[in-house]
Structure 1
Amino acid sequence: MGGVLGKGDSPKCCIIETKLETKMVEAMQRRASEGSSMKSFNRIILKFPKIDESLRKCKDIFQQFDEDANGAIDPQELRRCFHKLEINFTEEEINDLFEACDINDHMGMKFNEFIVLLCLVYLLKEDPTALQTKSRMGMPNLEATFEMLVDAFVFLDKNKDGYVSKSEMIQAINDTTSGELSSGRIALKRFEEMDWDKNGMVNFKEFLFAFTRWVGIDDNEDDEQEDNA
Protein backbone atom coordinates (compact mmCIF):
# COMPACT_ATOMS: atom_id res chain seq x y z
CA MET A 1 0.00 0.00 0.00
CA GLY A 2 1.35 3.41 -0.93
CA GLY A 3 2.00 5.95 1.77
CA VAL A 4 3.19 3.42 4.31
CA LEU A 5 6.62 4.71 5.15
CA GLY A 6 9.38 2.15 5.41
CA LYS A 7 13.15 2.20 5.34
CA GLY A 8 13.17 1.68 1.59
CA ASP A 9 11.21 4.84 0.84
CA SER A 10 12.84 7.85 -0.73
CA PRO A 11 14.61 10.31 1.61
CA LYS A 12 12.47 13.16 0.22
CA CYS A 13 9.30 11.42 1.34
CA CYS A 14 10.71 10.73 4.78
CA ILE A 15 12.01 14.31 5.22
CA ILE A 16 8.57 15.75 4.45
CA GLU A 17 6.92 13.23 6.77
CA THR A 18 9.39 13.94 9.56
CA LYS A 19 9.01 17.72 9.32
CA LEU A 20 5.23 17.56 9.42
CA GLU A 21 5.26 14.82 12.03
CA THR A 22 7.44 16.98 14.31
CA LYS A 23 4.83 19.76 14.15
CA MET A 24 2.04 17.25 14.73
CA VAL A 25 3.73 15.67 17.75
CA GLU A 26 4.61 19.04 19.32
CA ALA A 27 1.03 20.26 18.87
CA MET A 28 -0.32 17.03 20.38
CA GLN A 29 2.06 17.25 23.34
CA ARG A 30 0.79 20.77 24.10
CA ARG A 31 -2.78 19.51 23.82
CA ALA A 32 -2.00 16.47 26.02
CA SER A 33 -0.73 18.76 28.79
CA GLU A 34 -4.35 19.96 29.14
CA GLY A 35 -5.61 16.41 29.73
CA SER A 36 -8.50 14.46 28.21
CA SER A 37 -12.20 14.37 29.08
CA MET A 38 -12.41 10.76 27.85
CA LYS A 39 -12.60 8.24 30.67
CA SER A 40 -12.52 4.95 28.77
CA PHE A 41 -12.01 3.43 25.33
CA ASN A 42 -15.72 2.51 25.40
CA ARG A 43 -16.57 6.22 25.57
CA ILE A 44 -14.62 6.68 22.33
CA ILE A 45 -16.45 3.76 20.68
CA LEU A 46 -19.84 5.13 21.79
CA LYS A 47 -19.03 8.39 20.02
CA PHE A 48 -18.28 6.62 16.68
CA PRO A 49 -21.80 7.17 15.21
CA LYS A 50 -21.87 10.87 16.11
CA ILE A 51 -18.35 11.44 14.76
CA ASP A 52 -19.14 9.42 11.63
CA GLU A 53 -22.27 11.48 10.94
CA SER A 54 -20.40 14.74 11.40
CA LEU A 55 -17.49 13.69 9.16
CA ARG A 56 -19.84 12.65 6.37
CA LYS A 57 -21.20 16.20 6.32
CA CYS A 58 -17.74 17.16 5.02
CA LYS A 59 -18.84 15.61 1.73
CA ASP A 60 -20.41 18.90 0.65
CA ILE A 61 -17.16 20.72 1.35
CA PHE A 62 -15.20 18.03 -0.48
CA GLN A 63 -17.44 18.17 -3.55
CA GLN A 64 -17.36 21.96 -3.55
CA PHE A 65 -13.57 21.95 -3.84
CA ASP A 66 -13.34 18.92 -6.14
CA GLU A 67 -13.89 21.31 -9.04
CA ASP A 68 -13.48 18.77 -11.84
CA ALA A 69 -15.71 16.25 -9.97
CA ASN A 70 -13.22 13.40 -10.43
CA GLY A 71 -13.55 12.16 -6.84
CA ALA A 72 -10.21 13.59 -5.68
CA ILE A 73 -8.78 16.96 -4.70
CA ASP A 74 -5.53 17.82 -6.46
CA PRO A 75 -2.86 20.24 -5.14
CA GLN A 76 -4.27 23.24 -7.05
CA GLU A 77 -7.79 22.57 -5.80
CA LEU A 78 -6.43 22.24 -2.26
CA ARG A 79 -4.72 25.64 -2.43
CA ARG A 80 -7.98 27.25 -3.53
CA CYS A 81 -9.77 25.37 -0.74
CA PHE A 82 -7.35 26.75 1.87
CA HIS A 83 -7.74 30.25 0.45
CA LYS A 84 -11.54 30.09 0.55
CA LEU A 85 -11.58 28.68 4.10
CA GLU A 86 -9.09 31.41 5.11
CA ILE A 87 -6.56 28.87 6.36
CA ASN A 88 -3.28 30.74 6.28
CA PHE A 89 -0.70 28.05 5.70
CA THR A 90 2.48 28.63 3.71
CA GLU A 91 2.93 27.01 0.30
CA GLU A 92 5.43 24.58 1.80
CA GLU A 93 3.03 23.61 4.61
CA ILE A 94 0.20 22.99 2.14
CA ASN A 95 2.47 20.81 -0.01
CA ASP A 96 3.69 18.86 3.03
CA LEU A 97 0.13 18.23 4.20
CA PHE A 98 -0.96 17.14 0.74
CA GLU A 99 1.91 14.68 0.36
CA ALA A 100 1.35 13.30 3.87
CA CYS A 101 -2.39 12.75 3.33
CA ASP A 102 -2.26 11.51 -0.27
CA ILE A 103 -1.47 8.06 1.08
CA ASN A 104 -1.99 6.16 -2.18
CA ASP A 105 0.27 8.60 -4.01
CA HIS A 106 -2.25 9.22 -6.79
CA MET A 107 -1.80 13.03 -6.77
CA GLY A 108 -5.30 13.49 -5.51
CA MET A 109 -6.91 13.21 -2.09
CA LYS A 110 -9.97 11.03 -1.76
CA PHE A 111 -12.69 11.89 0.74
CA ASN A 112 -11.22 10.02 3.72
CA GLU A 113 -7.78 11.57 3.04
CA PHE A 114 -9.38 15.04 2.90
CA ILE A 115 -11.02 14.46 6.31
CA VAL A 116 -7.64 13.52 7.80
CA LEU A 117 -6.07 16.64 6.29
CA LEU A 118 -8.76 18.94 7.74
CA CYS A 119 -8.34 17.38 11.17
CA LEU A 120 -4.55 17.87 11.00
CA VAL A 121 -5.17 21.49 10.00
CA TYR A 122 -7.39 21.84 13.08
CA LEU A 123 -4.60 20.49 15.30
CA LEU A 124 -1.81 22.52 13.68
CA LYS A 125 -3.67 25.82 13.56
CA GLU A 126 -3.14 26.04 17.31
CA ASP A 127 0.60 25.80 16.65
CA PRO A 128 2.06 29.32 16.24
CA THR A 129 5.08 27.95 14.34
CA ALA A 130 2.86 26.20 11.80
CA LEU A 131 0.85 29.27 10.88
CA GLN A 132 1.69 32.78 9.81
CA THR A 133 -1.54 34.03 11.34
CA LYS A 134 -4.23 32.47 13.47
CA SER A 135 -7.25 31.28 11.55
CA ARG A 136 -10.54 29.61 12.19
CA MET A 137 -11.81 27.08 9.73
CA GLY A 138 -15.30 28.54 9.84
CA MET A 139 -16.84 25.15 10.56
CA PRO A 140 -17.80 25.10 14.27
CA ASN A 141 -19.63 21.74 14.20
CA LEU A 142 -16.74 20.11 12.41
CA GLU A 143 -14.23 21.63 14.79
CA ALA A 144 -16.13 20.12 17.73
CA THR A 145 -15.81 16.71 16.07
CA PHE A 146 -12.09 17.21 15.43
CA GLU A 147 -11.67 18.20 19.07
CA MET A 148 -13.34 14.91 20.04
CA LEU A 149 -10.79 13.01 17.92
CA VAL A 150 -7.89 14.96 19.46
CA ASP A 151 -9.34 14.21 22.90
CA ALA A 152 -9.56 10.50 22.08
CA PHE A 153 -5.90 10.41 21.01
CA VAL A 154 -4.84 12.29 24.15
CA PHE A 155 -6.72 9.71 26.25
CA LEU A 156 -4.73 6.89 24.60
CA ASP A 157 -1.41 8.77 24.85
CA LYS A 158 -0.86 8.06 28.55
CA ASN A 159 2.71 9.40 28.76
CA LYS A 160 1.85 12.54 26.74
CA ASP A 161 4.74 12.15 24.26
CA GLY A 162 2.57 12.71 21.15
CA TYR A 163 2.50 9.02 20.17
CA VAL A 164 0.42 6.01 21.17
CA SER A 165 2.47 2.89 21.89
CA LYS A 166 1.29 -0.72 21.91
CA SER A 167 1.44 -0.86 25.71
CA GLU A 168 -0.63 2.34 26.00
CA MET A 169 -3.27 0.86 23.72
CA ILE A 170 -3.39 -2.34 25.78
CA GLN A 171 -3.64 -0.30 28.98
CA ALA A 172 -6.51 1.80 27.59
CA ILE A 173 -8.52 -1.26 26.57
CA ASN A 174 -7.69 -3.24 29.72
CA ASP A 175 -8.93 -0.36 31.88
CA THR A 176 -12.20 -0.46 29.93
CA THR A 177 -12.86 -4.19 29.84
CA SER A 178 -11.82 -5.03 33.42
CA GLY A 179 -9.28 -7.62 32.40
CA GLU A 180 -11.37 -9.76 30.05
CA LEU A 181 -9.26 -12.39 28.30
CA SER A 182 -10.10 -11.06 24.86
CA SER A 183 -9.13 -7.48 25.67
CA GLY A 184 -5.43 -8.01 24.93
CA ARG A 185 -6.20 -9.41 21.48
CA ILE A 186 -8.62 -6.56 20.75
CA ALA A 187 -5.99 -4.00 21.79
CA LEU A 188 -3.32 -5.60 19.58
CA LYS A 189 -5.66 -5.77 16.60
CA ARG A 190 -6.68 -2.12 16.98
CA PHE A 191 -3.05 -1.14 17.37
CA GLU A 192 -1.95 -3.06 14.27
CA GLU A 193 -4.70 -1.33 12.29
CA MET A 194 -3.24 2.03 13.34
CA ASP A 195 0.49 1.30 13.12
CA TRP A 196 0.92 1.50 9.35
CA ASP A 197 4.70 1.78 9.27
CA LYS A 198 5.06 -0.97 11.89
CA ASN A 199 7.47 1.08 14.02
CA GLY A 200 5.59 0.38 17.25
CA MET A 201 4.37 3.97 17.64
CA VAL A 202 1.21 5.61 16.27
CA ASN A 203 1.07 9.31 15.46
CA PHE A 204 -2.12 11.35 15.13
CA LYS A 205 -2.24 10.98 11.35
CA GLU A 206 -2.08 7.16 11.56
CA PHE A 207 -4.81 7.24 14.23
CA LEU A 208 -7.06 9.34 11.99
CA PHE A 209 -6.66 7.08 8.96
CA ALA A 210 -7.46 4.04 11.13
CA PHE A 211 -10.50 5.89 12.49
CA THR A 212 -11.94 6.53 9.00
CA ARG A 213 -11.63 2.79 8.37
CA TRP A 214 -13.25 1.89 11.70
CA VAL A 215 -16.34 3.96 10.95
CA GLY A 216 -16.35 2.74 7.33
CA ILE A 217 -15.85 6.02 5.50
CA ASP A 218 -13.19 4.79 3.07
CA ASP A 219 -15.10 1.52 2.39
CA ASN A 220 -18.25 3.42 1.48
CA GLU A 221 -16.27 5.69 -0.81
CA ASP A 222 -15.04 2.73 -2.84
CA ASP A 223 -18.58 1.33 -3.03
CA GLU A 224 -19.97 4.66 -4.19
CA GLN A 225 -17.37 4.95 -6.92
CA GLU A 226 -18.14 1.42 -8.14
CA ASP A 227 -21.87 2.25 -8.19
CA ASN A 228 -21.21 5.43 -10.15
CA ALA A 229 -19.04 3.54 -12.62
Structure 2
Amino acid sequence: MGGILGKPESSKHAWIPETKLEAKMVEAMQRRATEGTAMKSFNSIILKFPKIDEGLRKCKDIFEQFDEDSNGAIDQEELKKCFLKLEIKFTEEEINDLFQACDINEDMGMKFNEFIVLLCLVYLLKDDPTALHAKSRMGMPKLEATFETLVDAFVFLDKNKDGYVSRNEMAQAINESGERSSGRIVMKRFEEMDWDKNGMVNFKEFLFAFTNWVGIDDEEEGEEKV
Protein backbone atom coordinates (compact mmCIF):
# COMPACT_ATOMS: atom_id res chain seq x y z
CA MET A 1 0.00 0.00 0.00
CA GLY A 2 1.56 3.28 -1.06
CA GLY A 3 2.07 6.06 1.42
CA ILE A 4 1.76 3.99 4.60
CA LEU A 5 5.05 2.93 6.13
CA GLY A 6 6.31 1.01 9.10
CA LYS A 7 3.37 -1.28 9.86
CA PRO A 8 4.19 -4.67 8.39
CA GLU A 9 2.10 -6.60 10.87
CA SER A 10 -1.27 -5.75 9.35
CA SER A 11 -2.98 -7.14 6.30
CA LYS A 12 -3.68 -5.04 3.25
CA HIS A 13 -7.40 -4.54 3.87
CA ALA A 14 -6.68 -2.93 7.24
CA TRP A 15 -5.83 0.37 5.55
CA ILE A 16 -9.14 0.85 3.79
CA PRO A 17 -11.94 2.37 5.90
CA GLU A 18 -14.97 0.09 5.77
CA THR A 19 -17.56 2.86 5.76
CA LYS A 20 -17.91 6.49 4.71
CA LEU A 21 -18.16 7.39 8.39
CA GLU A 22 -14.89 5.64 9.22
CA ALA A 23 -13.20 7.44 6.31
CA LYS A 24 -14.43 10.77 7.73
CA MET A 25 -13.22 9.82 11.23
CA VAL A 26 -9.77 8.92 9.92
CA GLU A 27 -9.55 12.12 7.88
CA ALA A 28 -10.65 14.27 10.86
CA MET A 29 -8.14 12.53 13.14
CA GLN A 30 -5.31 13.00 10.63
CA ARG A 31 -6.20 16.70 10.44
CA ARG A 32 -6.30 16.94 14.24
CA ALA A 33 -2.92 15.15 14.50
CA THR A 34 -1.21 18.00 12.64
CA GLU A 35 -1.92 20.19 15.70
CA GLY A 36 0.08 17.83 17.92
CA THR A 37 -0.78 16.52 21.37
CA ALA A 38 -0.32 17.73 24.93
CA MET A 39 0.14 14.15 26.18
CA LYS A 40 3.74 13.46 27.15
CA SER A 41 3.55 9.76 28.05
CA PHE A 42 1.26 6.78 28.28
CA ASN A 43 1.19 7.33 32.03
CA SER A 44 -0.23 10.82 31.54
CA ILE A 45 -3.22 9.23 29.78
CA ILE A 46 -3.77 6.80 32.66
CA LEU A 47 -3.58 9.65 35.19
CA LYS A 48 -6.44 11.38 33.38
CA PHE A 49 -8.79 8.38 33.68
CA PRO A 50 -10.64 9.68 36.80
CA LYS A 51 -11.21 13.13 35.29
CA ILE A 52 -12.39 11.65 31.99
CA ASP A 53 -14.69 9.28 33.87
CA GLU A 54 -16.18 12.20 35.80
CA GLY A 55 -16.62 14.20 32.60
CA LEU A 56 -18.34 11.36 30.75
CA ARG A 57 -20.79 10.75 33.57
CA LYS A 58 -21.96 14.34 33.15
CA CYS A 59 -23.44 13.15 29.85
CA LYS A 60 -26.03 11.26 31.88
CA ASP A 61 -28.30 14.31 32.26
CA ILE A 62 -28.17 14.94 28.51
CA PHE A 63 -28.89 11.27 27.83
CA GLU A 64 -31.92 11.21 30.16
CA GLN A 65 -33.20 14.46 28.72
CA PHE A 66 -33.36 12.98 25.21
CA ASP A 67 -34.53 9.51 26.24
CA GLU A 68 -38.11 10.76 26.06
CA ASP A 69 -39.82 7.45 26.81
CA SER A 70 -37.33 6.72 29.66
CA ASN A 71 -36.62 3.21 28.42
CA GLY A 72 -32.84 3.51 28.93
CA ALA A 73 -32.11 3.90 25.22
CA ILE A 74 -32.25 6.65 22.60
CA ASP A 75 -33.83 5.66 19.30
CA GLN A 76 -33.18 7.30 15.94
CA GLU A 77 -36.04 9.79 16.22
CA GLU A 78 -34.93 10.84 19.72
CA LEU A 79 -31.38 11.22 18.40
CA LYS A 80 -32.53 13.53 15.60
CA LYS A 81 -34.29 15.73 18.18
CA CYS A 82 -31.13 15.68 20.30
CA PHE A 83 -29.05 16.93 17.35
CA LEU A 84 -31.63 19.62 16.64
CA LYS A 85 -31.61 20.83 20.27
CA LEU A 86 -27.80 20.84 20.44
CA GLU A 87 -27.71 22.64 17.07
CA ILE A 88 -25.59 19.90 15.53
CA LYS A 89 -26.11 20.32 11.81
CA PHE A 90 -25.64 16.86 10.37
CA THR A 91 -27.56 15.45 7.41
CA GLU A 92 -30.09 12.66 7.96
CA GLU A 93 -27.69 10.24 6.27
CA GLU A 94 -24.85 11.26 8.60
CA ILE A 95 -27.07 10.86 11.67
CA ASN A 96 -28.19 7.40 10.48
CA ASP A 97 -24.56 6.38 9.79
CA LEU A 98 -23.53 7.49 13.29
CA PHE A 99 -26.47 5.67 14.87
CA GLN A 100 -25.66 2.42 13.08
CA ALA A 101 -21.95 2.71 13.86
CA CYS A 102 -22.57 3.21 17.59
CA ASP A 103 -25.52 0.83 18.05
CA ILE A 104 -23.13 -2.03 18.77
CA ASN A 105 -25.70 -4.63 19.82
CA GLU A 106 -27.94 -3.58 16.90
CA ASP A 107 -31.08 -3.28 19.00
CA MET A 108 -32.02 0.06 17.36
CA GLY A 109 -31.54 1.81 20.68
CA MET A 110 -28.58 3.79 21.94
CA LYS A 111 -27.49 2.84 25.47
CA PHE A 112 -25.63 5.37 27.59
CA ASN A 113 -22.10 4.22 26.69
CA GLU A 114 -23.03 4.11 22.97
CA PHE A 115 -24.42 7.65 23.25
CA ILE A 116 -21.17 8.90 24.82
CA VAL A 117 -19.15 7.41 21.95
CA LEU A 118 -21.52 8.96 19.43
CA LEU A 119 -21.22 12.44 20.99
CA CYS A 120 -17.43 12.18 21.03
CA LEU A 121 -17.43 11.21 17.34
CA VAL A 122 -19.66 14.20 16.64
CA TYR A 123 -17.14 16.38 18.47
CA LEU A 124 -14.33 15.04 16.28
CA LEU A 125 -16.28 15.29 13.02
CA LYS A 126 -17.44 18.83 13.74
CA ASP A 127 -13.79 19.90 13.99
CA ASP A 128 -13.98 21.86 10.77
CA PRO A 129 -10.69 23.67 10.09
CA THR A 130 -12.57 26.41 8.24
CA ALA A 131 -14.71 27.22 11.29
CA LEU A 132 -13.29 30.06 13.36
CA HIS A 133 -15.61 29.32 16.29
CA ALA A 134 -14.38 25.73 16.46
CA LYS A 135 -13.64 25.70 20.18
CA SER A 136 -17.23 25.28 21.38
CA ARG A 137 -18.78 23.22 18.66
CA MET A 138 -21.60 21.65 20.64
CA GLY A 139 -22.46 24.30 23.21
CA MET A 140 -21.16 22.03 25.99
CA PRO A 141 -17.68 23.38 26.83
CA LYS A 142 -17.06 21.13 29.87
CA LEU A 143 -18.01 18.00 27.99
CA GLU A 144 -16.02 19.10 24.97
CA ALA A 145 -12.92 19.46 27.18
CA THR A 146 -13.33 15.78 28.14
CA PHE A 147 -13.75 14.78 24.49
CA GLU A 148 -10.66 16.81 23.58
CA THR A 149 -8.64 14.84 26.17
CA LEU A 150 -9.76 11.59 24.51
CA VAL A 151 -8.84 12.91 21.05
CA ASP A 152 -5.50 14.04 22.48
CA ALA A 153 -4.84 10.58 23.92
CA PHE A 154 -5.55 8.95 20.56
CA VAL A 155 -3.29 11.42 18.72
CA PHE A 156 -0.50 10.59 21.20
CA LEU A 157 -0.82 6.87 20.45
CA ASP A 158 -1.12 7.35 16.68
CA LYS A 159 2.59 7.91 16.08
CA ASN A 160 2.52 7.93 12.28
CA LYS A 161 -0.63 10.11 12.15
CA ASP A 162 -2.58 7.83 9.80
CA GLY A 163 -5.79 7.93 11.88
CA TYR A 164 -5.33 4.42 13.34
CA VAL A 165 -3.39 2.98 16.28
CA SER A 166 -1.45 -0.20 15.52
CA ARG A 167 0.04 -2.79 17.85
CA ASN A 168 3.53 -1.42 17.08
CA GLU A 169 2.47 2.12 18.00
CA MET A 170 0.98 0.88 21.27
CA ALA A 171 4.26 -0.88 22.09
CA GLN A 172 6.20 2.27 21.19
CA ALA A 173 4.08 4.36 23.58
CA ILE A 174 4.84 1.92 26.41
CA ASN A 175 8.57 1.81 25.65
CA GLU A 176 8.76 5.61 25.67
CA SER A 177 7.27 5.71 29.15
CA GLY A 178 9.77 3.15 30.42
CA GLU A 179 6.92 1.20 32.01
CA ARG A 180 7.83 -2.13 30.46
CA SER A 181 6.45 -3.98 33.47
CA SER A 182 2.97 -2.83 32.48
CA GLY A 183 3.54 -3.75 28.84
CA ARG A 184 1.56 -6.98 29.05
CA ILE A 185 -1.43 -5.17 30.54
CA VAL A 186 -1.33 -2.51 27.85
CA MET A 187 -1.15 -5.09 25.07
CA LYS A 188 -4.19 -6.78 26.62
CA ARG A 189 -5.89 -3.39 26.43
CA PHE A 190 -4.94 -3.23 22.75
CA GLU A 191 -6.65 -6.60 22.19
CA GLU A 192 -9.77 -5.21 23.91
CA MET A 193 -9.77 -2.26 21.51
CA ASP A 194 -9.08 -4.25 18.35
CA TRP A 195 -12.49 -5.92 17.96
CA ASP A 196 -12.07 -7.07 14.38
CA LYS A 197 -8.55 -8.33 15.10
CA ASN A 198 -7.06 -6.58 12.07
CA GLY A 199 -4.18 -5.11 14.08
CA MET A 200 -5.55 -1.59 13.73
CA VAL A 201 -7.72 0.47 16.07
CA ASN A 202 -9.83 3.38 14.88
CA PHE A 203 -11.15 6.16 17.14
CA LYS A 204 -14.56 4.53 17.58
CA GLU A 205 -13.01 1.25 18.79
CA PHE A 206 -10.76 3.22 21.13
CA LEU A 207 -13.75 5.07 22.63
CA PHE A 208 -15.82 1.95 23.27
CA ALA A 209 -12.88 0.29 24.97
CA PHE A 210 -12.34 3.42 27.05
CA THR A 211 -15.95 3.51 28.33
CA ASN A 212 -15.44 -0.12 29.42
CA TRP A 213 -12.17 0.66 31.19
CA VAL A 214 -13.61 3.48 33.27
CA GLY A 215 -16.67 1.39 34.09
CA ILE A 216 -19.41 3.31 32.26
CA ASP A 217 -20.99 -0.01 31.22
CA ASP A 218 -21.08 -1.51 34.71
CA GLU A 219 -23.29 1.22 36.07
CA GLU A 220 -25.79 0.61 33.30
CA GLU A 221 -26.07 -3.07 34.05
CA GLY A 222 -27.00 -2.91 37.69
CA GLU A 223 -27.44 -0.02 40.08
CA GLU A 224 -28.74 2.50 37.60
CA LYS A 225 -31.72 3.57 39.68
CA VAL A 226 -30.74 3.81 43.31
Which TM-score tier does this pair reach, normalised by the shorter chain? 0.7 to 0.9
Distance 1:175 1:56 in 2: 31
Determine helix, strand or coil for the equivalent of 2:223.
helix
Q: How far apart, in 2, do the equivalents of 1:57 and 1:179 lie?
A: 32
1:21 aligns with 2:22: yes
Q: Write the distance in 2 (CA, Å) between the matches of 1:17 and 1:224.
A: 36
Percent of aligned pairs with the same residue? 81
Q: CA offsets, 1:43-92, max 9 Å, x none?
A: 01100001100110110000000000000000000000000000000000
Question: TM-score, normalising length from structure 2?
Answer: 0.87
Task: State the partner residue of 1:113.
Answer: 114
SS at 1:39 equivalent? coil
Q: Which residue of 1 aligns with 2:55?
A: 54
Query: 1:17·1:96 contact (CA, 8 Å) conserved in 2?
Result: no
Count of equivalent residues: 209
Deviation at residue 187 of structure 1 after TM alignment? 2.6
Partner of 1:183: 182
Relative distance call for 1:35 and 1:68 in structure 2 (3 A) is: same
- Give the CA deviation at 1:113: 0.3
For 2:223 and 2:97, locate their aligned partners in 1 and report how far apart those are by CA, in whole Å.
29
Deviates more, 1:152-161 or 1:187-196: 187-196
Moved over 3 A (4+): none
- Structure 1 segment 17-96 matched on structure 2, within 5 A: 18-96=19-97
Q: What amino acid sits opposite 2:183 in the alignment?
A: G
How many Å separate the matches in 2 of 1:57 and 1:35? Answer: 27
Q: Secondary structure at the match of 1:224?
A: coil
Distance 1:108 1:224 in 2: 20
Q: Normalized against structure 1, the TM-score is what?
A: 0.86
Write the distance in 1 (CA, Å) between the matches of 2:174 and 2:116.
26
CA distance, structure 1, for counterparts of residue 22 and residue 128 of structure 2: 13
Determine the C-alpha separation between the residues in 2 that align with 1:58 and 1:183: 31
Unaligned ranges ≥5, structure 2: 1-16
Amino acid corresponding to residue 215 of structure 1 in structure 2: V
Determine the structure 2 residue equivalent to 1:193: 192
- Look up the SS of the partner of 2:50 in the other structure: helix
